[in-house]
Amino acid sequence: MGKKSNAHQSKHGENIFAAISVGTILILIGLIFVVTPNLFGAIVEFFKDFGMVEVDSGTGFVLPAPVSPWKHTTVYQAWAQFSLGIGFLYVVLLALRVNANSSIIKTAEMTSNLVFWFGASYLVSTHLNSNTTHRLWFAFWAGIIALVGVSFVVRAIILFARSRSII
């Protein structure tokens, strides 16, 4: 009976974390749309601007990208705000998980997500703005790919450290 009770409490706790996450994400999206004038129109224009663009001059290698990436600062700013907001959400969730003695797997996942979202906010802020070129656009995506790798490594380090009882 003890195991069933613990399993029920664990599932209940996970449901609470999920509700906090989903609710906060919806609030964040709503707030970003409220504080950013014409964001919906800017998003539509952003996607209308996509075409096949050469990755670097003379390579002949093309990928989908905005034809005029410098024109979409409103979308980039909203994206940076969203990423930063999600990063702060994961800080709060990580603190709650540590306080609730969540499993190390969930704690490592939260930490990994936190690293990714703060990193994504940084990359958006530094690569995507009114001076964005196609080269910066593709460098941004290369950075996102590297950031995914970093977040996996962070998760692995936490899990490894825990398996060795370092943390």
> How high is the mean pLDDT in each 10-residue block of the chain (167 residues)?
50 80 96 96 97 87 94 97 97 92 91 97 94 93 98 96 78
Quick check: 143 and 121 in contact, CB under 8 A?
no
Residue 44 structure tokens: 């539509």
Q: Residue 109 belongs to what domain range?
A: 2-163
The model carries a pTM of 0.86
User: What is the per-residue pLDDT across 37-78, written as a single tens digit (0 to 9) for each?
Assistant: 999 999 999 999 999 999 887 888 999 999 999 999 999 999
Provide the domain count of the chain.
1
**Residue 154, helix vs strand vs coil:** helix
CA quadruple 121, 124, 130, 131: dihedral positive or negative? positive
Q: What's the confidence (pLDDT) of residue 102?
A: 86
Q: What's the confidence (pLDDT) of residue 56?
A: 82
How far apart are alpha carbons 161 and 158 in whole angstroms? 5
